[in-house]
């Protein structure tokens, strides 16, 4: 019988310093949300907007619609160079309104560089990657990692990250959020993936702090529902 080599001890993950998550920074004359908490970024609003795969003009149009509704937080994924241009356009539009705009789908340091170049104020990822999270925080951008298990949540919290993104929320289901409230009552979850005006309220009631919507902003029939959620 072949011998089994003992497992090598894993390298401990160095926690993020609290100051890296709480102290605001400035780049030039433009105040950036780097380092501040997502509590401030969301502004107490239970919705955020994700504008994926759109032209710069369309992205700005829907970002303005989101801001006019009362949504404080807008994310533009940066999965390719074209998306980086859309992000830059929305960042410029947000600057005139004092709105923070973040970069989504930041799954590598290369994409983080794209986000920084475009002027993003925060980063979001579909999963948890300690290297990407630390690089983002070191760049002055708070990071929202994706989670789907209790292990993911613990790993993100151990690194010093406060908010987490439950993805894909529609697959996890509302019962997942109810179950997570037991062991993690202090953790603010953002429900992302398959969310719209029709199911957002159910996820908020189940324990999500924020629900991220995208295509709902393009549907006139859903705008009144989104406004109603914001009003409450």
Catalytic positions, written as ranges: 75, 165
Quote the tokens at residue 66.
């989101």
Residue 113 has a CB neighbour count (10 Å cut-off) of 15
Distances (CA, A) of 134 to 27, 112, 156: 19, 11, 11
Bridge pairing between strands 25-27 and 30-32: antiparallel
Task: Write the burial class of residue 221 (CB in 10 Å: 0-12 exposed, 13-18 middle, 19+ buried).
Answer: exposed
Nearest Cα neighbor of 216 from 188, 197, 201 is 197
C-beta separation of 109 from 84 below 8 A = no
> Crossing angle, helix 81-95 and helix 56-69, to 10 degrees?
40
Q: Nearest-5° angle of CA 215, CA 219, CA 223?
A: 105
């Amino acid at each position: 019988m072949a011998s089994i080599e003992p497992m090598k001890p894993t390298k401990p993950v160095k926690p993020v310093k609290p100051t890296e998550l709480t102290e605001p920074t400035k780049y030039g004359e433009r105040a950036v949300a780097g380092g501040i908490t997502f509590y401030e970024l969301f502004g107490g609003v239970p919705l955020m907007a994700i504008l994926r795969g759109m032209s710069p003009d369309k992205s700005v149009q829907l970002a303005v619609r989101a801001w006019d509704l009362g949504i404080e937080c807008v994310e533009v994924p940066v999965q390719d160079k074209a998306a980086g241009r859309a992000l830059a356009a929305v960042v410029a539009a947000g600057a005139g309104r004092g709105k923070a705009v973040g970069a989504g789908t930041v799954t590598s340091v290369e994409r983080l560089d794209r986000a920084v170049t475009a002027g993003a104020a925060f980063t979001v990822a579909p999963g948890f990657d300690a290297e990407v999270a630390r690089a983002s925080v070191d760049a002055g951008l708070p990071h929202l990692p994706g989670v789907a298990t209790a292990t993911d949540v613990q790993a993100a919290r151990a690194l010093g990250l406060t908010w987490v993104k439950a993805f894909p929320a529609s697959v996890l289901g509302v019962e997942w959020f109810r179950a997570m409230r037991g062991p993690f009552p202090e953790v603010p979850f953002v429900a992302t993936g398959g969310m719209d005006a029709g199911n957002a309220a159910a996820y908020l009631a189940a324990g999500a702090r924020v629900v991220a919507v995208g295509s709902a902003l393009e549907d006139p029939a859903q705008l009144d529902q989104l406004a109603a959620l914001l009003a409450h």
